[in-house]
Amino acid sequence: MSEQSEGSLQPSGGTRQLGADFPLIFEESRPGRRAWSLPDVKVDAPPLEELIPSNLRRATPPGLPQVSERDLVRHYTRMSQRNWAIDVGAYPLGSCTMKYNPKVAEEAAGLPGFSSIHPMADDELVQGALELLGLLQRALCEATGMAALTFQPAAGAQGELTGLLIMRAWHRSKGDVRKRVIIPDSAHGTNPASVTLAGYEAQEVRSDDRGLVDVDALKAVLDDDVAGLMLTNPNTLGLFERDIQEIAAAVHEVGGLLYYDGANFNSIVGIVRPGDMGFDIVHLNLHKTFATPHGGGGPGSGPLAVSQRLEPFLPAPVLEFDEGSERWGWQHDRPDSIGRIHSFHGNFGINVRAYAYLRSLGPEGLRRVAELAVLNANYLKTLIEGSFPTKYPGSCMHEFVASATALKKHGVRAMDVAKRLIDLGYHPPTVYFPLVVEEALMVEPTETESKETIDGFAAALNQIAEEAQADPALLHEAPTTTPVRRPDEARAARRLKVRWSGP
């Protein structure tokens, strides 16, 4: 099978594969082939039959593939070529902050003093790693305007749950059991899902005709049963919630807390801090703002920072510096802690990368990130708004949500625009989110894309708007340059096949 497929895939990511289906590694398997190389047992110990009771001994080894190392390398190398990546081209997915990931950070994470250390090693053995976390903790607290932080959350959604459980613990510490958390209708789906998991009821508040939280609608639902408000600022429409002071005052007035979803922190880093806006709890997505690679959808890192009054509730243990011994160490004695949220200390390897990025940029570099991310988004918006208008007037922050509604009369949908973009050599933006914009195209170029790339992307979009009118079939048939074309998602769900189960 592997020999048959040779030459059928050209060596660039976007090429179409002719002939047979791209093989699974299981289909390349041949009994007796092997890649593994492990020692003989070489110790004086009884055979397995004497060590493992017969009812627990595996009768048939698992049906894993049997391939040579050459098979393995070619299979995965070719498969990788069937994939887009930020190292291949721009990835303007709104709300995802797909910026370039510097290679120096990879080098850092691979240093043996970071990559080969055991998570339960004595603090004394890992002082270098703890110092790195300590310095990153200080810098992130400064950048968010918060007092303390935990690195345990492995991703933003886990940070959300951690923050909501802290919110819950804080209210309960005052004998106050509240039931609802308010969320704008433009919020990411993780917000309401985390609210439910934390034992709260999610209550949506609508956006007004500015695309911002409707402050009157918010005030109407605020009462002493509201535990807090979760807000992404700028919001998922790429708009800064300019009424934030009034919002914060109103939530605090009823004894609620403000949670900052850091999904869009990239656009304000160094310019305005969540703490100064009145937020009490902040999660950051280090894989976004701090440029760590997204790995095909993880690993991320979602550290959670809180104001001083919430510090006692952070997950245990907490990293502290002992002035006397000049040593970093984990403080486990935390009677008010909500408890542990991760098996160990969170995604340390990602935090190393984020630290390398932060030290590379420094204060001016971080501010420039926000400035150029916002400049790029506004520039792109200007170039395409003739074809793809935005619903809300004025300038945007790091992203904007354009609409493809104007093309509907030609039978063209946002998804068709996305697929045609692929043929023109670009990864599409996020489509159909947020839900408050019809035929949404949510675009976030990030600060690492050049003017030339944005010009090219805008030209492609404008060309597509013309094609929609002149030749809509071109859009409906797209993409034609990829290894597969418009996979049938309904069939995938209906005739569920989620593993290889033999030829």
The mark string for 286-305 relative to another protein (x by CB under 8 A, - otherwise) is -----x-xxxxxxxxx----
Q: Is 112 a binder of another protein (CB under 8 A)? A: yes
Q: Which residue in 94, 146, 168, 461 binds another protein (CB under 8 A)?
A: 168
Q: Which residue in 4, 124, 330, 459 binds another protein (CB under 8 A)?
A: 124
Q: Is 69 a binder of another protein (CB under 8 A)? A: yes
> 349 has which bridge partners?
none
Q: Classify residue 462 by its DSSP letter.
A: H
Binding piece for another protein, criterion CB under 8 A, among 119-127, 251-259, 403-411, 463-471? 119-127
Total site size for another protein, rule CB under 8 A: 212
For residue 381, give the amino acid letter: K
Of residues 10-39, those binding another protein (CB under 8 A): 13-14, 17, 21-22, 24-26, 29, 33-39
Of residues 181-220, those binding another protein (CB under 8 A): 188-190, 192-202
- Residues belonging to the chain: 503
Q: Which residue in 7, 46, 175, 335 binds another protein (CB under 8 A)?
A: 46
Judged by DSSP in three states, 164 sits in: helix
Of residues 404-433, those binding another protein (CB under 8 A): 418-419, 422, 427-428, 430, 433
Q: Is 368 a binder of another protein (CB under 8 A)? A: yes
Q: Is 94 a binder of another protein (CB under 8 A)? A: no
**Which residues, in sequence order, are CB contacts of 201 under 8 Å at separation 6+?**
179, 180, 181, 195
Q: Which residue in 2, 90, 94, 96 binds another protein (CB under 8 A)?
A: 96
How far is it, in rounded angstroms, from Cα 151 to Cα 265?
A: 17
Give the residue with the Cβ less far from another protein, 103 or 469.
103
Task: Look at the alpha carbons of 265, 267, 271, 276 in this order and tell me if their dihedral is positive or negative.
Answer: negative
How far is it, in rounded angstroms, from Cα 95 to Cα 444?
A: 7
By the 8 A CB rule, do 96 and 399 touch? no
Of residues 312-331, those binding another protein (CB under 8 A): 315
Q: Is 245 a binder of another protein (CB under 8 A)? A: yes
Written as one string, the DSSP assignment of 129-178 is: HHHHHHHHHHHHHHHHT-SEEE---SSHHHHHHHHHHHHHHHHHHTT---
How far is it, in rounded angstroms, from Cα 273 to Cα 279?
A: 9
What minimum distance in Å lies between the beta carbon of 33 and another protein? 8
Binding piece for another protein, criterion CB under 8 A, among 217-225, 304-312, 365-373, 463-471? 365-373
Q: Which residue in 213, 218, 374, 384 binds another protein (CB under 8 A)?
A: 374
The mark string for 222-241 relative to another protein (x by CB under 8 A, - otherwise) is -----------------xx-
What minimum distance in Å lies between the beta carbon of 59 and another protein? 7
Of residues 444-503, those binding another protein (CB under 8 A): 447-451, 479, 482-489, 491-493, 495-501
By the 8 A CB rule, do 478 and 422 touch? yes
How far is it, in rounded angstroms, from Cα 79 to Cα 502?
A: 20
Give residue for tokens 């869009």: 264
Q: Is 42 a binder of another protein (CB under 8 A)? A: yes
Q: How far is CA 93 from CA 43, 52, 60, 496, in A?
A: 55, 51, 45, 28
Q: Is 369 a binder of another protein (CB under 8 A)? A: yes
Torsion of CA 93, 97, 100, 101, to 10 degrees: -130
How far is it, in rounded angstroms, from Cα 464 to Cα 185?
A: 30
Q: Which residue in 2, 5, 90, 91 binds another protein (CB under 8 A)?
A: 91
By the 8 A CB rule, do 231 and 395 touch? no
What minimum distance in Å lies between the beta carbon of 288 and another protein? 11
Could you tell me the two tokens for 360? 């590379």
Q: Which residue in 6, 7, 11, 44 binds another protein (CB under 8 A)?
A: 44
Q: Which residue in 205, 284, 306, 338 binds another protein (CB under 8 A)?
A: 338
